[in-house]
Structures are given as structure tokens and as C-alpha cells.
Amino acid sequence: MHVDVHSENAVCDHGQWVLIDSDQCGIGPRELDLVNGLPDHFHQPQHERAPFAAAYGYDLLDWPGWTLLRDITELHSLGACIRLAPSKPAAAEELGHRVRSLRAGDRAVVWHAVS
């Protein structure tokens, strides 16, 4: 498994799509590869997610445990904000935004990437 599959980690090389950024590769369930394409607080539109699921040959939304995996992944994403918050005000603001939305159970809140 790659563990960080998303559009920015795929490049087209001579007509073939290749995954890059293999720092976290390992052996494990395919669900961990697909979790980044789930409907989540980043709200990837279905029309963008569906072609990837079709090419992969498996749609994680068909798996009964996808919401739990989504929730775990979203909690894990707080770590980046926590690490950056002391030195980057935007990360501190985003951390508060994410925590408030999780506490409220508000799935309509859109999260933003921090770096």
C-alpha cells in the first residue's frame, strides 16, 4: 500500500499513471490507500473521486467500515496542525476550526490544507 494516494502524488509518465512520494509504503489493507479519496471535510467532489475509484477497481464507500476509517484519518490530520500551530498562526486557526467542527459533528464544514 502507498498510504498517501491522492492526485498530487500521481504523475503521468508516457501515458501511464505512476505513484510518487513512497515514504510510507508498506504492506497492508487497500482501504488505507483509498481513505484520502473519501468524502470528508476536504469535500472532494464525487465527480473527481469516482474516476479514481473506477481505475483502482474498488470503491471504499462500498465498505461498511469507511466512516470509521474516515473519522480516524481526520483525527490523525490534526497532528500536522498541532505541530505547525506554535509557529504558524494560520495552522493554529485551522486547528481550532477543525476541532470545533469535530466537536459539533458538523460534516458540512470544509477544512483547508496547512503547510
**DSSP-derived 3-state class of residue 42:** coil
Indicate if the pLDDT at residue 2 is higher than 70: no
CA atoms within 13 A on the CB side of 57: 1
| pLDDT per residue as tens digits for the range 60-107 | 889 999 889 888 988 988 999 999 999 999 999 999 999 999 999 998
Determine the Cα–Cα distance for residues 85 and 90; give it in Å rounded to an integer.
7
Please tell me the pTM assigned to this model: 0.70
For the chain, give percent helix, strand, coil, nearest 5. 50, 5, 40
Determine the Cα–Cα distance for residues 59 and 65; give it in Å rounded to an integer.
12
Confidence tier at 41 by pLDDT (50, 70, 90): confident
Confidence tier at 27 by pLDDT (50, 70, 90): confident
Confidence tier at 5 by pLDDT (50, 70, 90): low
Determine the Cα–Cα distance for residues 61 and 12; give it in Å rounded to an integer.
26
